[in-house]
Amino acid sequence: MKKLFDPWQIKTVKIKNRICFPPVVCYAWGTEDGYVTQENVEHYRKVAKGQTGLIIQEATCVDRNGKLAANQLGIWEDGQIKGLSEIADAVHKEGCPIFIQIHHAGVSGLDGELACPSDYSFYKDGVKKAGKEMTIEEIHKVQQEFTDAAVRAWKAGYDGVELHGCHQYLMCEFFNRWVNRRQDAYGEHRERFAVEILRAIKEKVPEDFVVGIRLGGFEPRLEDGVRHARVLEKEGIDFIDVSYGFSGEDDPKAPADFPYEKCIYAAAQIKRAVSVPVFAVNGITDPEMAQDILERTDVDMIDIARGIIVNHNWARDAMEGRDTGKCLHCRRCLWCENPDTCTGRKILEKNLQRKKEFIDNL
């Protein structure tokens, strides 16, 4: 599994292997004011200590009115910088770089008048969400919030930011022509919302500060995802982390003989179309699978979320040939609600204890 453990770098950021812990929100630790808690700091410290090559911190909101959950981490005011810097410092002390994902929920937000490029409604988790078409002034306000958030991330000591451009949230709503039905420039050129944010951030941060994006591979179809990736590459995006876009308003497809998730196929196709680093994610459960995807698709980085949730030492154990543990794919991720209830983690801990007792009794 040589490629999985090959070092590489994005700009000046050195990464020890091809294993990335992608953004996963833990709802048990947050506060309504969006400030970092000690549980957040220790969580990312443990992930870094487990020899993960790169961490991308969970979706961190640029606007208190754009949250996906009441207790989501925030980066909308300067007072939040201190707590965020504690996360960055803890991770760096373990020899791991960290980016932070900056986010606005858009029509997938909590309640009230939700932001959306066009008038739009849908059901999310059984709840009707209704968005009102944003004015040009509202668009520019949110773009400025993304830019200010990136500057705060730089001040807090992060190595870069990842724009959240998928998963039914605001930026992906602009990308998707089945959601974004505007009749102005932001509808004619659906990448414009993200491109203008990217340009503004690049003007405000040092040249070596990384700016990437989590992008829907099917937005709504693969050819759209590829086109978005090419436009962003021309505008100077530093990496593209490919996932699903606006689920329910997309058309994900892959060849019948492709053995992995459709969005991994999308990542492979986007990698063929651009020269910037591309990440693949979804359903990657073990080191052998990760290695095969790297070889089969030629992507640069593998996102391991569930595996590292179960086992902070996933990367170290994979490198040293030990059992990395197993996510049980519970219907609702128990870790996200309360990490102490994660069944996969409990089983791994029990197995490790049994092994220790066996060795002690030899």
Alpha-carbon distance of 268 to 250, in angstroms, equals 18
Here the CATH number for the domain that contains residue 143 is 3.20.20.70
User: What's the chain's length in residues?
Assistant: 362
Is residue 251 included in any domain, yes or no? yes
Supply the pLDDT for residue 351: 83
Alpha-carbon distance of 90 to 45, in angstroms, equals 5
Q: Is the pTM of this model over 0.85?
A: yes
Is residue 237 included in any domain, yes or no? yes
Supply the pLDDT for residue 249: 97
Alpha-carbon distance of 148 to 132, in angstroms, equals 24
Supply the pLDDT for residue 111: 82
Q: Which helix (H) or strand (E) holds 163?
A: strand 160-165
Is residue 214 included in any domain, yes or no? yes
Edge-to-edge strand order for the sheet containing 114-116? 114-116, 127-133, 120-124
Is residue 343 included in any domain, yes or no? no
Is residue 310 included in any domain, yes or no? yes
Supply the pLDDT for residue 358: 65
pLDDT range class, residue 361, cuts 50, 70, 90: confident
Number of structural domains, the chain? Answer: 1
Structure tokens, 45 = 């410290």
Domain that holds residue 322: 3-327
Alpha-carbon distance of 258 to 280, in angstroms, equals 14
Supply the pLDDT for residue 340: 87
Is residue 346 included in any domain, yes or no? no
Angle ∠(46,96,290) on CA atoms, nearest 5: 85
Is residue 209 included in any domain, yes or no? yes
Q: Which residues are within 8 A (CB) of 325 and not within 5 positions of it... i.e. 6 or more apart?
A: 307, 310, 311, 314, 317, 344, 345, 347, 348
- Express each pLDDT in 120-145 by its tens digit: 999 998 899 999 999 999 999 999 99
Average pLDDT, the chain: 95
Alpha-carbon distance of 250 to 258, in angstroms, equals 19
DSSP per-residue letters across 164-230: EE-TTSHHHHHH-TTT---SSHHHHSTTHHHHHHHHHHHHHS-TTSEEEEEEESSSSSHHHHHHHHH
* Largest interatomic CA distance in the chain: 74
The three-state secondary structure class of 116 is strand
The three-state secondary structure class of 22 is coil
Positions annotated as catalytic residues are 169
Q: Give 48's Cβ-side CA count (13 Å radius).
A: 23
pLDDT range class, residue 264, cuts 50, 70, 90: very high
- Express each pLDDT in 57-98 by its tens digit: 999 999 999 999 999 999 999 999 999 999 999 999 999 999
Angle ∠(174,20,261) on CA atoms, nearest 5: 60
Segment 269-281 mean pLDDT: 98
Is residue 355 included in any domain, yes or no? no
Segment 161-181 mean pLDDT: 98
Segment 281-300 mean pLDDT: 96
- Express each pLDDT in 305-354 by its tens digit: 999 999 999 999 999 999 999 888 888 888 888 888 898 888 888 887 78
